[in-house]
Amino acid sequence: MFVHLLFDLLAYIVGTLLLWKVFKPSRPTIEDENLRYAYYTIVIIGAFIGAFFIGSLNTLVSLDSSNIIIGKSILGAIVGGVIAVEIFKKIMNIKGSTGAYFVPSLAVGIAIGRIGCFVSGLEDYTYGVETNSIFGYDFGDGVLRHPVQLYESLTMALFFFYTLILYIKDRNYFEKVIFYQFILVYSLQRFVWEFLKPYESVAFGLNVFQFLCLGLMVYAVRYLFKNLRG
């Protein structure tokens, strides 16, 4: 788990540097400085609560909780952050997308963080189900499993390069749609990879994370069309 923490720290550092030095808005997303800092606070609180609440819920449903009680999830952090921010924006009457410049850091952070999940092996409980395919990987117990952590890492790495191209090519379009595109791509690929994980289903053959992914996909499509029409 120490190795996992190192990769998490690397993800935070790289993500922060991208946000600070590379992907910079031409003007503040929220003009009022006090409101802007309140927004950042809401993002952090929502993501923190979502990460541990949803991660722990999945642990309770899917795993032997005699050894693990508290879990955390990047999907939960995204869901918690989105819900908190949308409520905040509604109350404060803030229009448009405000999350564009978080996206490159999120994509790179997830890509790096999932490598940490992979090298942590069986202890991380993020491995895939048994497989005979050429992609099967032995995490140390003699069983070949889908390295779903690497599938997600590669997907997010490719999406990061897409964000870089779009940022360079059309800054205005980037600011308008990239956050919702990220939510759509992340939730769609995560929905697919969840079929390759050993988590227990809660209804209709879907697990906790897949239902959340469906909700995020609906959210992303709705706001993509709304912003593009605008």
Q: Once rounded to an integer, what is the mean pLDDT over residues 33-62?
A: 91
> Do the Cβ atoms of 143 and 128 come closer than 8 Å?
no
How many domains would you assign to the chain?
Answer: 1
Specify if 130 maps to a domain: no
Specify if 71 maps to a domain: yes
Specify if 128 maps to a domain: no
Give a three-class secondary structure readout of 58-103.
HHHHHCCCCCCCCCCCHHHHHHHHHHHHHHHHHHHCCCCCCCHHHH
Specify if 90 maps to a domain: yes
Q: pTM score, two decimals?
A: 0.92
Specify if 79 maps to a domain: yes
Tens digit of each residue's pLDDT (9 = 90 or more) over 106-155: 999 999 999 999 988 888 788 899 999 999 999 988 999 999 999 999 99
Tens digit of each residue's pLDDT (9 = 90 or more) over 159-195: 999 999 999 999 999 999 999 999 999 999 999 999 9
Specify if 132 maps to a domain: no
pLDDT of residue 1: 65
Specify if 158 maps to a domain: yes
Tens digit of each residue's pLDDT (9 = 90 or more) over 91-118: 999 988 899 999 999 999 999 999 999 9
What tokens does 99 get?
A: 């999350």
- Mean pLDDT (the chain) is 90
State which residues form the domain around 55.
2-122+138-229
pLDDT of residue 155: 97
